[in-house]
Chains A and B, each alone.
Chain A
Amino acid sequence: MDLIEVNDVEKHYQRLVAVKNLTFTIKAGDFVTFVGPFGCGKTTILNLIGGITENYKGSILINSESPIIIRKKRKIGFCFQKPNLLPWMNALENVLLPQKIASLKEDREKGLKFLKMVGLDRFADKRPYELSGGMQQLVSIARGLILNPDILLLDEPLSSIDEINRSKLHLKLLEIHRQTKKTTIMVTHSINEAVFLSNQVIVLTSRPAKVRKIVDIEITQRNEETVYSDKFLKYAELIKEELRNGQTN
């Protein structure tokens, strides 16, 4: 069942056309990744789905409602490029922040449950400066999940993480997706990251972003060895080729 329907969307920033003729659908529970050239409008697409960016042409529907309504109902969890943790709060308090903003009773048990899910329950009382970049990003993912959203949006969450820790975090992200079954939409520059994590990769053209190709990734087993498999490399090569063609066309 389609959870998100994007139909012929166009978004301008004054004279700059960020996205044009953007059409795609996303099924509930999928892990979908957008890849595209630098500055093509990937984050704009994420912001449109997240109801952060308004005033666009075309239609975007999430469960038959506009993204702004869905955001205001707090049915979307966000995880940005930077972890954006409040430095005066510890990890658990940061996870519980959306509850506090929503004026809900702070559910410390639930916060600890999500911290455990991301493997950081032992660090609940640590301040952000006591955590590594990867750990901070995992706290921000736990924060994105605390209000039990329908959709989790990830805007290049691992871009500032080193290669070795990034591989560990990929497995962690897969584990989180497997456990929560949340529709997860990510933006990344890394083709390998996109193929490894997603069951669908949407390849975008250079600005204004349009859908160049939708690639369904059919990899059943995902582990540290997956990246060396023929199937993985074939998908990665296909996406690279589409990206190259998308830039030249």
Chain B
Amino acid sequence: MGKLIKKLIILTTIVFLWHLAVVIFRIPSYLFPSPILVYSSFWENKIAIFSNTLITLNETVIGFLIANLISVSIALGIAFNKDLEDFIMPFAITLKTIPVIAITPLLVIWLGSGSSSKIATAALICFFPSLVNVLRGVKSLDKDLIELFKVYSANKVQLAKMLIIPSIMPYLFAALKISSSLAVVGALVGEFIGANRGLGFLILSNYYNLNTPYVFACIIVSSLTGIGFYYLIHFIEKKVVTWTVSVD
């Protein structure tokens, strides 16, 4: 409870200083609106913001799930066949070196301006950090435990189900936490490039109209969406991984 009060005090102080700065330096609202203006804009447009947040969230979650599902599958493949790493990693690193913002127009061309291209952008931005973390988990597998399963003649499915997946859980959750906030960024980037809905679209269209309070409101909501998603994963981690401390 004490921690929550501290956080609230810090937050209130920041908002107050922000308001004070806008009033003292007489900053025009199209440059830097006061928190009151931002809140008013949010309240006026709450339905539009809420419905577009749901769209962005939907793209975020699907992209996030696809990226993590692929990275876990690859990591499991590498756990059983080390040569797969030499084959996959050059592609994964190449994918990582291409800036997402540069590849998004292509995704829009290939997948259209609907949700698919945003899901793909979110998945793309999540994929590499997720893969690297889950691979760390696979590489830190206890060799003695693998030996134990071997002496009891466990098959590969049993090895994956009873040993590898539980062992990589702490690393998987570290990956999920990193990629949860990245996925929101990915979906927003996708919406910036070509969309007619979603938070990214709202930000861009209001930026063109110099409706800065609305832009601020959307930015804060997208940030809160990322934070909420992160803490949801953190909450699930605390319920699932009860035998060890977090690895991040």
Chain A residues packing against B (C-beta within 8 Å): 50, 52, 71-72, 74, 76, 78, 80, 82, 84, 86-88, 97-98, 100-102, 127, 129
Contacts and interface: CB of A to CB of B under 8 A. Distances in A.
Contacts of B149: 101
A80 B148 contact: yes
Nearest to B169: A88
B243 A127 contact: yes
Contacts of B243: 87-88, 127, 129
Interface of B: 142, 144-145, 147-154, 158, 162-163, 166, 169, 242-244
B145 A101 contact: no
B148 A78 contact: yes
A80 B162 contact: no
A80 B144 contact: yes
> Interface majority SS on A: helix, strand, loop or mixed?
loop
B144 A87 contact: no
B245 to A, nearest CB: 11
Contact of A72 (B145, B148, B153, B163): B153
Contact of B151 (A50, A100, A129): A50
A78 B151 CA distance: 8
B185 to A, nearest CB: 33
Contacts of B158: 100-101
Given A80-B144, A84-B145, A74 B244 contact: no
A52 B151 contact: yes
B148 A84 contact: yes
A102 B148 contact: no
A101 B144 contact: no
Contacts of B242: 88
